[in-house]
Structure 1
Amino acid sequence: MIPLQIHHLTPPYLPISQTTPHLLSPFSQRLQLSSKPNLLTFPPIPLPKPTSKLLRASQSQSLFFGNEEDTTGISSGLDDLSPNGVVYRKTLALVECSMFAALTGLVYFLSNSLGIENYFGCFFSLPIVITSMRWGVAAGRKTMVATTMLLLVLSGPLKALTYLLKHGLVGFTMGSLWRSGANWTTSVLLCAIVRALGSVGYVLITSFLIRENIFALITINIHASLTFIFTAAGIYTVPSMEAIYALFSILVFINSGSFTFLLHLLYAAFLSRLGMKASLRLPRWLEKAI
């Protein structure tokens, strides 16, 4: 029996020439096509220019630091909040007006409650004069109105009107005249008129509240006093009511004028001690004395 021998058959070697591209695989064809120049070209990648870097840097800086309008807004806001800024000065004036109004209202309320109003009556107009001299006429008006409204809440309408007629209007008139640079003759006369009108208004309000004509009582007493004086002097005449009214008006004006003149002296000395002498227009004799 003849044994079978199995030989490993190897395929014959077939040389592949470069001139037969049809026998190549698709992958090899792609490789050959890519290896050849100018067959497949990629589009050129644009390189950034130096100006684009500058633009990007400027954009980043504007995003980080803000634009010019924002910086100007911030700088203007800081200027307003500076001690010489408009917002700072308006806020300071409002705070001072509110503090003076609260202090005046509290002192007036306590002095009325304790019955010592006559001892502090000369100081009730001073805060209005100070605010008018420092911040203007509008600030003095705000202080007067705020104090009146505070007293209206604390003590009622009668005390509020009493303060307004006897102290508030006098202080506002004095502060406005001193702020405008008026001389003392004009200031004393106008303040005396305002004080006299305020006193008459206070008497009218009191007469309405107590249901009694106080003016009639005053004129009757003046008439009786003049008749007694004339009789004692040997003058047998009866003064007329027109003369009584004229005499009453003169006495009220003299009283108001003396009071306002004393207020001018007191407030001038007080404001000079506070360092506001340069903004005051004082008479020569008083300026030499101070």
Structure 2
Amino acid sequence: MNDSNWVDSDESIHHFSSQPSNSKNLYSQPKSPKFQQTLAMVETAFLASTSSLIWLINTYFPLGIILRLFFPIPIAILCLRWGSRSACMGWLVSGLLLTVLMGPIQSILFITNYGLIGIQLGAFWRKNISWEWSIFIGAIISIFSFFFKFWLFSILTGEDLWQYSINQMTSVAEWLFLKFGTLIQPSFLLVQFFTCLLIFINSIIYLFAVHIIASMVLDKLGSPITRPPKWVQIILDY
């Protein structure tokens, strides 16, 4: 097996050696390429297992939003440290682990949503792209993943779940309008638009929270992400 497939290039070595010197930082001193390749494989296996374990724990012992914020972070760390190639390997290994542990459906749900978001976030952080673009692109991926999930479950159940959900939301909207004494009947298209808008806003809020958590955690690990906007820095007392 060619170990070099796990690391994009020697760019990873320069990425770490360019960080501020710290006696506690594993990457403060340059290491040989062989050491870097071995370390990349070890971290890929460890972080892929970590992401699978977080998903597994949250499935059987749901803790609300707490663990959900960490779903994409292990894969993002891989991409941030070793590049997209290692991140894709970790993404694939996570999917295989979840397939064995929980079945293919749970595996598909993870890799098509949080796995892809993790790769995207890591790639953007590695290139020092602003939070605004990182969150926006991540939200778009999240929306596509959401509709993919609806499409998948519609196939499995033999029902058009999106149509059913929109019909239910339309009924609720009509009931609310009647309660407020308004005879307006919301159109099916309008309900779909506001549903997509709410999904997008929810994704924006979620990804912003992920950025906050990643900023605090990865700073401690010596692999800082892109610096937050000024107003966020003021809130966090940067």
| TM class, shorter-length | 0.7 to 0.9
Query: Structure 1's 134 and 260: CA in aligned 2 closer, same or farther, altered over 3 A?
Result: same
Equivalent residue of 2:151, what SS?
A: helix
Contact 1:223 1:239 in 2 (8 A): yes
Query: Structure 1's 145 and 117: CA in aligned 2 closer, same or farther, altered over 3 A?
Result: farther
Contact 1:128 1:171 in 2 (8 A): yes
1:185 pairs with 2:185: no
Report the counterpart of residue 189 of structure 2 in structure 1. 242
The CA RMSD over aligned residues, in Å, is 2.0
| CA shift for structure 1 position 235 | 2.5
1:259 pairs with 2:234: no
**CA deviations over 1:12-62 (Å, ceiling 9, x no partner):** xxxxxxxxxxxxxxxxxxxxxxxxxxxxxxxxxxxxxxxxxxxxxxxxxxx
Report the counterpart of residue 95 of structure 1 in structure 2. 42
Report the counterpart of residue 24 of structure 2 in structure 1. none
1:282 pairs with 2:219: no
Q: Specify the code of the residue in structure 1 equivalent to 2:223.
A: M
Q: Specify the code of the residue in structure 2 equivalent to 1:177.
A: F
Contact 2:75 2:91 in 1 (8 A): yes
Q: Specify the code of the residue in structure 1 equivalent to 2:227.
A: R
Report the counterpart of residue 142 of structure 2 in structure 1. 195
Q: Specify the code of the residue in structure 1 equivalent to 2:228.
A: L
CA distance in 2, matches of 1:96, 1:169: 18
Equivalent residue of 1:146, what SS?
A: helix
**CA deviations over 1:56-106 (Å, ceiling 9, x no partner):** xxxxxxxxxxxxxxxxxxxxxxxxxx9622222111111110111122223
Summarize the alignment of residues 45-64 of structure 1 with structure 2, pairs less than 5 Å apart: none
Larger Rg: 1
Higher relative contact order (CA 8 A, sep 6+): 2
Report the counterpart of residue 163 of structure 1 in structure 2. 110
Contact 1:182 1:281 in 2 (8 A): no
Query: Structure 1's 117 and 97: CA in aligned 2 closer, same or farther, altered over 3 A?
Result: farther
1:204 pairs with 2:141: no
If the length of structure 1 is used for normalisation, what is the TM-score?
A: 0.66
1:229 pairs with 2:176: yes
CA distance in 2, matches of 1:234, 1:115: 40
Report the counterpart of residue 215 of structure 1 in structure 2. 162
CA distance in 2, matches of 1:190, 1:207: 26
CA distance in 1, matches of 2:110, 2:97: 11
| CA shift for structure 1 position 115 | 4.5
CA distance in 2, matches of 1:268, 1:150: 27
| CA shift for structure 1 position 222 | 1.5
Contact 2:58 2:68 in 1 (8 A): no
Report the counterpart of residue 125 of structure 1 in structure 2. 72
* Structure 1 unaligned regions, length at least 5: 1-81
CA distance in 2, matches of 1:259, 1:115: 17
Q: Specify the code of the residue in structure 2 equivalent to 1:204.
A: W
Q: Specify the code of the residue in structure 2 equivalent to 1:282.
A: P
Query: Structure 1's 117 and 231: CA in aligned 2 closer, same or farther, altered over 3 A?
Result: closer
CA distance in 1, matches of 2:39, 2:182: 65
Report the counterpart of residue 55 of structure 1 in structure 2. none
CA distance in 1, matches of 2:131, 2:51: 25
